[in-house]
């Protein structure tokens, strides 16, 4: 038997399951501790035992509705998914503010899942998903680089103008 914990998360998503180990000599000892974090709210917690012989069946059930036809580019990921009910699509990609998500071409909010990963809420139906990544500070860096480039060109041009007038040798 595998033992786990199921809980309700602060974003309303339910049925997160965490494997907390296996039974040894009929006993499982569990210690839970939670950091003082405003982003995490743990509501109802349930502990349960799950027969490991059902593991393959659980995985098969959970992979019926997953992202398919996946394309991975330099700074983007695309795919499609068909879901029978409203649910969350979780990505095993660490959460970062540089990511944005578009569902059927419309920008949508990215949520934190399992503290460090990304998730988006999906409604029933077939959806095109696109994740785009822009490193934080990239646009500011581009602007600073362009200003610096123009400043260098201006300095070179002004020195050349002084040379032509005979002021600098």
pLDDT number for residue 39: 62
What is the torsion angle, in degrees rounded to the nearest 10, for the CA atoms of residue 12, residue 17, residue 18 and residue 21?
150
Q: Which of 4-13, 15-24, 41-50, 101-110 has the lowest mean pLDDT?
A: 4-13
**Would you say residue 80 has pLDDT above 70?**
yes
pLDDT number for residue 60: 82
Nearest to residue 65, comparing CAs of 34, 39, 86?
86
Confidence of residue 168 (pLDDT cuts 50, 70, 90): low
Report whether 91 contacts 131 (CB < 8 A).
Answer: yes
Cβ neighbours for 45, distance < 8 A, ≥ 6 positions apart:
5, 6, 7, 32
**Would you say residue 107 has pLDDT above 80?**
yes
Query: What's the angle, vertex CA 50, arms to CA 48 and CA 51, rounded to 5?
Result: 150
pTM: 0.56
């Amino acid at each position: 038997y595998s033992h786990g914990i199921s809980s309700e998360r602060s974003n309303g998503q339910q049925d997160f399951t965490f494997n907390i180990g296996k039974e040894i000599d009929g006993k499982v000892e569990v210690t839970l501790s939670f950091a003082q974090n405003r982003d995490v709210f743990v509501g109802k917690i349930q502990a349960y035992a799950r027969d490991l012989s059902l593991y393959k069946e659980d995985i098969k059930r959970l992979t019926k509705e997953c992202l398919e036809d996946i394309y991975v580019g330099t700074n983007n990921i695309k795919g499609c998914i068909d879901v029978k009910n409203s649910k969350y699509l979780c990505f095993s990609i660490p959460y970062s503010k540089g990511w944005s998500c578009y569902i059927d071409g419309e920008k949508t909010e990215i949520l934190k899942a399992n503290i460090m990963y990304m998730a988006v809420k999906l409604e029933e139906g077939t959806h095109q998903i696109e994740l785009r990544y822009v490193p934080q500070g990239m646009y500011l860096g581009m602007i600073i680089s362009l200003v610096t480039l123009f400043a260098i060109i201006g300095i070179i041009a002004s020195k050349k103008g002084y040379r032509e007038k005979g002021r600098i040798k």
